[in-house]
Copies of this chain bind each other. A is one copy, B any other.
Amino acid sequence: MPRIEVGGTPPYTVTVESGALTRAGMPQTRVALIVDAGLPAEWVELAQRAFHPELTIDVPSGDACKTLDVLGTVLSRLAAANLPRDGAVIGLGGGATTDLAGFAAASYLRGVAYYSVPTTLLGMVDAAVGGKTGINLPEGKNLVGAFWPPRAVWCDPQVLGSLPPAVFREGAAEAYKHGLISDPTLLGRVLSPDFRPDHAGFEATLADAIAVKAGVVTRDLTEQGERAYLNFGHTLAHAIEAVTHHGVSHGDAVGYGMHYAALLSRELGGTDLSAHTRRFLDWQRPKALPALEFGALSAYMARDKKADSQGVRFVLLHGLARPYLARVPEATLSSVFDLWRSDVSSPVPK
């Protein structure tokens, strides 16, 4: 059973194992469970049997839960139940649910223990590790939040078997990204027909994809340096999500965004990796994009959290597993955008 250690104060363990939820436990006795309302009842019941929460709070599926309104509702429920300082909050759901639940845990009573049980591939590979929690603003995604690492993360591949195939493929974007920025063996493994929850090798590939992020965040807990590399493909992705009002899912947007970042990397003199990102898109079959204006996307990109007073920095690749940060001139962003736009508009084989 793969167990991945993540550094921090305190460090924590990510368990990747079929049936992980049935064996999960924690020292806190008074706990609240925050649940994606769209989850199959069997998974909620399994979690309730494992954790004995004194209250279960349903929140809307996907980014609809990452609002100040939903946060306020959750915090008031915790307060009305008198959840104490030595209690715990558990997030059960996809990355949006665990982002919200983690931020509620971070801010309720200025912080109570948080545990994460991601139920999507995206949530397991990305959101559950690293301690980033938060919500969106009308002005953009993830603009509000806290660094609040979980005390433990349980990833049960069985739960992924019940995901719609498109949601599973969407979530593979972060695993593929980890291949591009750090572990190229993942590129072939993610696109292999064996990358499915019921296959024997799946746990190991999933664990290796999680381990890339665990390694990065252990070395850089608060995104002073290499942690920024995890945002490969995300600058455009967040802008796409914002201008489409989340009409494009995060994983699909990252699929598109990685291709843009690969084209930018090539333009700035790096190895051409766009065949990889194009191959991923062909495999992922993301939702088709609506008409997108560069100007609108550019305004959102300028607001990216990686921006500082000198402008937006992009994560680019010199080559496989060789990420770097660079400021890119607006003219380059614009011309590569046109290239990317025509590329992702061409028919994707179904």
Q: A-side interface residues toward B, CB under 8 Å?
A: 29-30, 68, 71-72, 75-76, 79-80, 82, 84-87, 106-111, 132, 134, 137-140, 143-147, 302-303, 305-309
For this complex, 19 residue pairs linking A to B, each with C-beta atoms less than 8 Å apart, are A29-B309, A30-B309, A68-B68, A68-B71, A68-B72, A72-B137, A75-B143, A75-B144, A76-B137, A76-B138, A79-B137, A79-B140, A85-B305, A86-B309, A107-B107, A107-B144, A109-B143, A110-B145, A146-B146
Protomer copies: 2
Rounded to whole Å, the gap between the CB of A220 and the closest CB of chain B is 14
Contacts of A137 in B (CB 8 A): 72, 75-76, 79
Contacts of A305 in B (CB 8 A): 85, 109-110
- Whether A143 and B108, one on each chain, are in contact in the complex, defined by CB atoms closer than 8 angstroms, is yes
Q: Which of B79, B106, B307 contacts A303 (CB 8 A)?
A: B79
- Whether B76 and A139, one on each chain, are in contact in the complex, defined by CB atoms closer than 8 angstroms, is yes
Q: Which of B79, B110, B307 contacts A132 (CB 8 A)?
A: B110
Contacts of A140 in B (CB 8 A): 79
Tell whether A309 pairs with B87 under 8 Å between CB atoms, given A144-B107, A146-B110. yes
Contacts of A80 in B (CB 8 A): 139
Chain B residue at smallest Cβ distance from A79: B139
